[in-house]
Each structure stands twice: as structure tokens, then as C-alpha cells.
Amino acid sequence: MTVKSLLPLIAATFVCGGSVLVEARQPKPLAAVTKPTVSQPAQPQWKVFTAPDGRFTILMPGSPNRNTQSQKTYMGEITLEIFVAQPPKQQVAYVVAYNDFPYSYGEMADPQTVLNNARDMALKTTKSNLISQRNIRSSNNHPGKEIEYINSGGKITKSRMYVAEGRLYQVMAITTKKQQKTLAKTITGYLNSFHVVLKK
């Protein structure tokens, strides 16, 4: 599935602090015809990705695709920023998405309420069952929540959400049960590499 086809779903699920359902690309079957030997494309190199506004950094497999969308909500108009990286030949997607809250809402909202709402919306929108959850903190002590859930199609999402300076961040790895076992360390490393950069 292409990033473009994911956007309507991302927009629909993320507005109220939801999540993203990414259909990881299936590897193409190898052709039976013998072809001249061609060197295989190198695996994407993991490198530090810095948000265009400089507000977060994270390790990504190559350069993520970016999309920006505006949505009208009960809090006012919200802009969604979504970054998606899908390595070739792997059934996994690495996603960072965030939205800024209108100032008045951001000042009043309790971070734990925002995180709980985000968890509930993610489960409801993706029709998933919660596997585990725990409260966490970002590297510079912003409140967060880690959740893991599985949808009816067997896709497993591990997500870490943080509320920081009027913004809700969601860092996700979405994969299959089989791929998750082989990528467990990689996914943990990816989630651990997320860092909120404080405004000066």
C-alpha cells in the first residue's frame, strides 16, 4: 500500500489523538525466469531524521515520506504532520505523526487525559485489541504512554505517545506477527531513538 493511500485513514484516525493503520507492502514473488545477475539494492541505512521544524529527532530507515493535512475538530483546526518510512522487502512501517493543539486547549488539557483519549481512539478506529500498556516519560521527562495492540488482520502496532509543549506525538512501528519477532530489537531501538527537542 502506498503512503498516498494511507493518508485518508491517517487523517481520520489521528484527529482525536488516534493512530495510523499501515498495510505493510507484501514482497513481490520472485520470477521463475532466470535473469542476468543484478546486485541487490542495499538495505536502507538508518540515520537520524530531524523534523523540519527541529522539534524532534529519531532514527529512520532512509528518508521518510512526509504529508501535511488540516482537519477541523471540536478544538478548532488542527494540522497533522505525518512521516512514514517503509523499508523494501520488509512488512513493516515506521511512522511519526504529530498535531499541535490550539493554545487554549493545550493549556487546559491534562496530559494523561489526552494520552488515554489517544489510546482509546487508536483502539476504536483500528478495531484493535490492546495487548499491553504502560506509562512512560520522554528522554526529557514529558509524560507519555506506550501501547501495543493487534487488529483483526493480525497487524501489530507498538506505539509511544507523548504530550510535549502543546503537541501530541505518536511514534509507531506497524508490522505482522511474523516480522515482529525478527524485528523486535530494531523496533525497540527505533522507539528508543525518539527525542523531543525543547523550544528555545
Segments in the chain forming alpha helices (H): 3-14, 103-108, 111-126, 177-192
Position 73 scores a pLDDT of 67
Residue environment code for 186-199, b if the CB has 16+ CB neighbours within 10 A, otherwise e? bbeebbebbebeee
Q: For the segment 33-43, what is each residue's pLDDT rounded down to a tens digit? A: 444 444 444 46
Q: What's the pLDDT tens digit per position in 1-51? A: 444 444 444 444 444 333 333 444 444 444 444 444 444 444 668 999 999
pLDDT in tens, 61-111: 999 999 998 877 666 778 889 999 999 888 999 999 999 887 666 666 789
Q: What single-letter amino acid sits at 178?
A: K
44 phi and psi, to 5 degrees?
-60, 140
Closest CA to 24 of 141, 192, 178: 178
Evaluate the CA torsion angle 27, 28, 34, 39 in order and state its sign: negative
Q: Is 3 in contact with 67 (CB distance < 8 Å)?
A: yes
